[in-house]
């Protein structure tokens, strides 16, 4: 199980350096592919990011279970931002691979998604993410990112 900090320390941004929570939320608001999910960054630190994923009924599968694509999208976005907190906003990185294990289900409530970098090399960045509702683990993801143009 990932150790999810209760309060991550926010980083002060330098020129082209790690963005703070407010800046990450502005990125969420500007991007069409994230806006409809209404994610909010609630904590960010060096190589970490935690998102609040609000419950939206339009994301339910039949039977009232939150669709798996919501967890996967939350994990991908949280890891994207974890990368930005470590490497800054100048260089772009994209998902090279992602593996997901569905371990539980959310029904009609918000959840959080915490991502962290485990290893950052010259070309590849490896990490994981976990979506949780309170103490209940909903999903676990492993992700690899690669630099655009790398």
Summarize pLDDT for 52-99 with one digit per residue, the tens: 999 999 999 998 999 999 999 999 999 999 999 998 877 789 999 999
User: pTM of the full predicted structure?
Assistant: 0.86
Half-sphere exposure (Cβ direction) of 4: Cα atoms closer than 13 Å: 21
Which residues, at least 6 apart from 28, have a Cβ–Cβ distance to it below 8 Å?
A: 34, 35, 39, 40, 41, 77
Domains of the chain: 21-147 (3.10.129.10)
Dist. CA 8–CA 49, nearest whole Å? 8
* Per-residue pLDDT tens digits for 114-130: 999 999 998 999 999 99
Residue at token pair 């976005």: 77
13 Cβ neighbours under 8 A, 6+ residues apart? 19, 20, 23
């Amino acid at each position: 199980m990932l150790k999810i900090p209760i309060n991550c320390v926010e980083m002060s941004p330098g020129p082209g350096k790690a963005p703070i929570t407010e800046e990450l939320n502005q990125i969420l608001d500007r991007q069409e592919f994230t806006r409809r999910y209404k994610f909010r960054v609630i904590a960010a630190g060096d190589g970490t990011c935690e998102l609040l994923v609000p419950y939206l009924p339009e994301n339910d599968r039949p039977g009232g279970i939150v669709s798996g694509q919501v967890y996967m999208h939350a994990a991908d976005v949280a890891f994207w931002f974890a990368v930005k907190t470590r490497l800054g906003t100048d260089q772009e990185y994209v998902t090279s691979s992602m593996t997901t294990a569905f371990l539980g289900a959310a029904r009609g409530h918000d959840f959080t998604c915490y991502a962290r970098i485990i290893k950052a090399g010259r070309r590849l960045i490896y990490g994981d993410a976990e979506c949780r509702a309170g103490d209940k683990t909903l999903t676990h993801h492993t992700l690899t990112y690669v630099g655009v143009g790398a």
